[in-house]
Chain A
Amino acid sequence: MTELDPVIHAQARLRVVASLSALPDCDQVAFPRLQEILGMTAGNLSVHLRRLEEAGYVAVTKTHRGRTPATLIALTRRGRLAFEEYTEAIRALLAPADTKETP
């Protein structure tokens, strides 16, 4: 059995990555909106985003909208791939026993 990706294999970060995967490719979501979708506190979300950013799964862009600063978040190509692989691995674990090793 392959090891599950430890960066994604934590409830909070799995939810973050799953939410971001619902965005179309080449789209970014503003931090407050993501926070609202997830129902997390800003501090909590920041911590998890930093961890995902360090792994190269999430790109965080600081920008300006008019004069107000905005933080935009998106899944990177690598992050999308990691999420797909994680989902595949989970599905494989749930698949009937014939795909697993037998004594």
Chain B
Amino acid sequence: MIADDDLPPEDPAAALRLIDEQRATAARQLEPDPRAYYWPWGVAWLIGFGLHFLYYSPGDAALVEMPSWLPLTTLFVLLAAAGAVTATVGTRAYGQVAGESARRGAWYGWSWGLGYLTLFVLAGRLSDSLPPELVGLLWSALAVGLTGILHMAGGAIWLDRTLFLLGVWITVVNLLGTIAGPGWHALVVAVAGGGGMLLAGLLGWLRRRDWQ
């Protein structure tokens, strides 16, 4: 059994091929598929914030009639599902790697957790004293803004251009939506934000296919 694979590669070309194939296989198994990372979030934003726009539309009446609990429930269910997919895929790829990458990942995870805790406490305190249409904007603008900044930070940590540019894009889209006001914010975040995530997943996947 050992005797066979103890032999040297047949010739230099075979050796080089073996090196390239093995490095690609290892990289594929150690890096999660970008589609699994970005697409669930893109879909969640597209549908979740899309329903918000249709129900809490700019102007007085809803564009589409639906039960009042539907938009927020859909958004939370889809975000939770996206979180579950990311956690599963991430554990699969990074679970059995130790060292500096694991520490970067853990600290980055803590940044997300503490960031959202801050957001919940702050927005929770302010919600009671704001008019209802601004409460929704406060929560979603803070959450989307924090997501954009953390994507930029992630891009800086891993020198990942796609992640960094997605963070910049989300931040800009969030600022424009916030200036445009309630209703419009949901539309911009759904289409440009969610669409940006879908595009990031596609670009990441294409790049990964290229170098394999």
Contact = CB atoms under 8 A, between A and B. Distances in A.
B19 interface: yes
Contacts of B12: 90, 93-94
Contact of A44 (B2, B98, B99): B2
A74 B99 contact: yes
Given A14-B18, A18-B26, A91-B16, A24 B7 contact: no
B interface, by DSSP: helix, strand, loop or mixed?
helix
Nearest to B27: A22
Interface string A1-32: 00010000111101100111111111111101
Contacts of A4: 8
Contact of A33 (B2, B9, B23, B96): B96
B96 A30 contact: yes
A42 interface: no
B64 interface: no
A4 B16 CA distance: 13
Interface string B100-113: 11100000000000
Interface in A27-66: 27-30, 32-33, 36-38, 41, 44, 47, 63
Given A11-B6, A33-B95, 6 more contacts: A10-B6, A11-B8, A19-B25, A27-B99, A36-B29, A94-B12
8 contacts: A14-B15, A15-B22, A23-B26, A26-B101, A27-B98, A44-B5, A90-B15, A93-B12
Interface of A: 4, 9-12, 14-15, 18-30, 32-33, 36-38, 41, 44, 47, 63, 72, 74, 87, 90-91, 93-94
Interface of B: 1-2, 5-9, 12-13, 15-16, 18-19, 22-23, 25-27, 29-30, 95-102
The 4 lowest CB-CB distance pairs between A and B, nearest first, are A33-B96, A12-B5, A22-B26, A27-B99
